[in-house]
């Protein structure tokens, strides 16, 4: 039975402890007076102050600032003070440096997806913790939580679904020329940088060097090659990572990665990369006021463009049980996708994304897409869903694993077994 992974946690606990120590030291080095001075310098020198405590996420720390009204403006004329967010990337937690300005600018230009306005930004690489930052409009509201999601009334849930659907149908229409991340070009924004995801970032920090595997796949216009690259990155993490997989489980995990390949070309579309409840700011009417934290957005094959599975089940690995997946498919997902269709027909006059997701959901494609972008889920999905769907269960799993290992003696070494 596979061990459940955590998409936000490293497998190597030693490296994670080291990274978190460096992160805490980095945060301690930030001088709050310097943060205020930075904001002031981009707001005509107006005095400012913090209006609530800083908030630390996995990859950024945010300071919340409000400005005094100009000297020639009476206080009563400015009851709503202007508020900004100073967001600083946590450099020790980022293998590839902080980014998101380019993606947010592109989204603002091409869609009406609600995102904060960018006031200023900088990307640096020196030791000053404020060498990289982004100054954003503060959006009032409450971040969505799983507890709230479970307790929503039917009407509020419909409102949330409609907001999410409107975001996804717009992202689906942003078709680009190849796979990767957005960069600035002579003629504007283009795709030209290797993919950076939360998974790949964590593996790079663990010293597993997934970027070298990425370099061996130069063709950024093949969906098949991109998926093969993701599987090789997962295999590399299994073989070279310090993880909780035992020698006894090594052959089974390797086999599950192998059968995952049996489940080409574009289109290629933009994904948020971290579309989780904590990155959604909600209004009192349960509409999305802002989508935050676009630093993991990237361009992927449309086959990997899937709805947020937390709408169906907070822990996506539970969906690997076929009966749970099938039950959620005909209830929660069916209702959400019907709203996707309504939104598409109203905005575009044709239900492209609805049709794609309807077809993909029937064969477990939503699970496969999610697992390919979260490698710790691959073994779990293979064990639970793929074995059940393709082989009628796990009764003969030991026999299939043994035959797989016998086909190539080198697999014993890869699985951590003696020769």
pLDDT in tens, 89-101: 999 999 877 667 8
Q: What is the pLDDT of residues 110-166, one digit of tens each?
A: 999 999 999 999 988 777 999 999 999 999 999 999 899 989 999 999 999 999 999
Give pLDDT, residue 226: 85
Cα 340 to Cα 354: distance, rounded to the nearest angstrom: 6
- Tell whether the torsion through CA atoms of 198, 203, 206 and 209 is positive or negative: negative
Cβ atoms of 64 and 82 closer than 8 Å: no
Q: What DSSP character marks residue 142? A: E
Q: What angle do CA 288, 270, 62 make, to 5 degrees?
A: 50
Q: What is the pLDDT of residues 209-264, one digit of tens each?
A: 999 999 898 877 888 888 888 878 887 877 776 654 444 444 544 454 554 554 45
Give pLDDT, residue 185: 78
Give pLDDT, residue 246: 41
Give pLDDT, residue 5: 40
Banded model confidence at residue 400, pLDDT cuts 50, 70, 90: low
Give pLDDT, residue 256: 46
Name the residue with higher pLDDT: 399 or 207: 207
Upstream peptide bond of 299 is cis (omega within 30 degrees of 0) = no
Instruction: Report the chain's mean pLDDT, rounded to a whole number.
Output: 83
- Fold held by 146-414: Aminoglycoside 3'-phosphotransferase; Chain: A, domain 2 (3.90.1200)
What is the DSSP pairing of strand 298-301 with strand 268-271? Answer: antiparallel
Quick one: what percent of the chain has pLDDT higher than 90? 48
Q: Is the pLDDT of residue 394 over 70?
A: no
How far is the first Cα of the chain from the last one, in angstroms, to the nearest whole number? 24
Q: Is the pLDDT of residue 67 over 80?
A: yes
Give pLDDT, residue 365: 74
Q: What is the pLDDT of residues 251-271, one digit of tens each?
A: 544 454 554 554 456 689 999
Region of 358 (left: φ > 0; alpha: ψ -120 to 50; beta: rest) is: alpha
Give pLDDT, residue 231: 79
Q: What is the pLDDT of residues 266-308, one digit of tens each?
A: 689 999 999 999 999 999 999 999 999 999 999 998 888 999 9
Q: What is the mean pLDDT of residues 76-91?
A: 83
Q: What is the mean pLDDT of residues 399-408?
A: 62
Quick one: what percent of the chain has pLDDT higher than 70? 77
Q: Is the pLDDT of residue 19 over 70?
A: yes
Give pLDDT, residue 393: 61
Cα 15 to Cα 23: distance, rounded to the nearest angstrom: 12
Banded model confidence at residue 88, pLDDT cuts 50, 70, 90: very high
Give pLDDT, residue 42: 97
Q: Is the pLDDT of residue 404 over 80?
A: no
| E-assigned strand segments in 30-82 | 48-56, 60-67
| Domain limits, the chain | 13-139, 146-414
Q: How many residues are listed for the chain in this entry?
A: 419
Cβ atoms of 283 and 242 closer than 8 Å: no
Give pLDDT, residue 125: 77
């Amino acid at each position: 039975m596979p061990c459940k992974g955590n998409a936000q946690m490293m497998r190597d606990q030693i490296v994670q402890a080291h990274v978190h120590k460096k992160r805490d030291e980095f945060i301690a080095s930030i001088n709050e007076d310097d943060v205020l001075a930075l904001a002031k310098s981009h707001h005509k020198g107006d005095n400012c102050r913090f209006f609530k405590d800083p908030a630390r996420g996995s990859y950024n720390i945010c300071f919340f600032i409000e400005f005094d009204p100009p000297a020639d403006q009476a206080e009563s004329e400015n009851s709503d003070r202007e508020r900004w967010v100073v967001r600083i990337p946590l450099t020790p937690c980022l293998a590839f440096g902080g980014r998101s300005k380019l993606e947010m600018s592109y989204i603002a230009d091409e869609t009406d997806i609600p995102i904060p306005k960018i006031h200023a930004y900088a990307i640096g690489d020196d030791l000053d913790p404020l060498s990289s930052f982004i100054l954003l409009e503060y959006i009032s509201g409450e971040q969505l939580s799983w507890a709230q999601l479970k307790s929503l009334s039917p009407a509020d849930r419909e409102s949330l679904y409609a907001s999410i659907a409107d975001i996804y149908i717009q992202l689906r229409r942003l078709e680009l020329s190849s796979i990767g991340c957005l960069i600035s070009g002579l003629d504007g924004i283009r795709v030209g940088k290797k993919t950076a995801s939360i998974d790949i970032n964590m593996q790079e920090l663990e010293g597993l060097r997934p970027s070298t595997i990425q370099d061996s796949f130069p063709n950024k216009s093949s969906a098949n090659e991109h998926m093969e690259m993701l599987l090789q990155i997962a295999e590399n993490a299994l073989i070279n990572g310090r993880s909780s997989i035992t020698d006894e489980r090594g052959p089974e995990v390797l086999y599950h990665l192998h059968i995952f390949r049996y489940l080409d070309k574009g289109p290629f579309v933009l994904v948020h990369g971290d579309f989780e409840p904590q990155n959604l700011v909600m209004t009192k009417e349960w509409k999305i006021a802002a989508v935050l934290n676009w630093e993991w957005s990237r361009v992927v094959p449309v086959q990997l463009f899937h709805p947020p599975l937390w709408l169906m089940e907070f822990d996506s690995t539970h969906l690997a049980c076929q009966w749970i997946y099938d039950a959620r498919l005909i209830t929660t997902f069916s209702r959400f996708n019907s709203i996707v269709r309504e939104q598409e027909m109203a905005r575009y006059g044709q239900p492209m994304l609805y049709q794609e997701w309807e077809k993909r959901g029937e064969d477990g494609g939503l699970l496969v897409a999610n697992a390919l972008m979260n490698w710790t889920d691959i073994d779990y999905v293979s064990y639970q869903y793929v074995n059940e769907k393709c082989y009628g269960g796990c009764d003969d799993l030991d026999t299939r694993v043994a035959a797989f290992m016998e086909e190539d003696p080198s697999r014993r070494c890869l699985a951590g077994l003696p020769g």
